[in-house]
Amino acid sequence: MQAKLNHGLAALLRRVGVVPVLTIDKLDQAVPLARALAEGGLNVLEITLRTACALDAIREMVRAVPGAIIGAGTVLSPEQGAAAMANGARFIVSPGMTPRLIDAAATWPVPFLPGVATASEAMALADMGYRVLKFFPAEPTGGVPALKALGAPLADLVFCPTGGIDAAKAPGYLALPNVAAVGGSWVAPAKAVAGGDWAAVTALAREAARLRVS
């Protein structure tokens, strides 16, 4: 699938409802974390490229958890996107967009989910053929009311809001017709991950999986 024609992402995102956004600090946590989340029903995972072991984590998760769909987040350059795909990433997420990223994404074999924070940014990406966008940072940018307001003039676009969303706030977003899924880190609390409490992660994933868009 050509990245700029990322319409297929909507169906995938609606199927899962919640996409865990994960920052992996230690490589040995990557595989058990992915397994715990997948066991709880969340098998579409975004690994942020914010740590030195992020690319290795993607590679190990792809190898060890074949039922999971692993993507790369916080991709800021074409080079990062290429590295993520070389390690098995099946989708690429950015907090925003740049001309270089857009040009590169047109050649990528995996879907690209670019980020927007304004109507103008969303309109610009819609002109390029994108129909599924990341809304970031969701809570500081106006949250549910902002996305609800965007729904009328930009009715053909759907969003995956991320940033400041937790279990209490997620249902409000998922009730909006222009929200395909939400991204969040609450399903993998730092304390549980650091302590290897994978049962707790699986329990949180099960709760989150029940929030999926109907």
Active-site pick, 4, 39, 60, 134: 134
Residue of 4, 46, 60, 169 marked catalytic: 46
Contact 45, 201 (CB under 8 A): no
Strands 182-184, 18-22: parallel, antiparallel or unpaired by DSSP?
A: parallel
Alpha-carbon distance 95 to 75, whole Å? 7
Q: How far apart are CA 121 and CA 133, in angstroms?
A: 10
Say whether the peptide bond before residue 189 is cis (omega within 30 degrees of 0): no
Using CA atoms, how far apart are residues 21 and 90, in angstroms rounded to an integer? Answer: 15
Strand partners of residue 184: 20
Greatest Cα-to-Cα distance within the chain, rounded to the nearest angstrom = 46
Q: List the structure tokens of 134.
A: 């990341």
CB 169 within 8 A of CB 130: no
Instruction: Output the CA–CA distances (angstroms, integers) from residue 93 to 20, 147, 190, 195, 200, in the order listed.
Output: 13, 19, 22, 28, 27
Instruction: Return the DSSP state at 179.
Output: B
The yes-or-no answer on residue 134 being catalytic is yes
- Which residues form the catalytic set? 46, 134
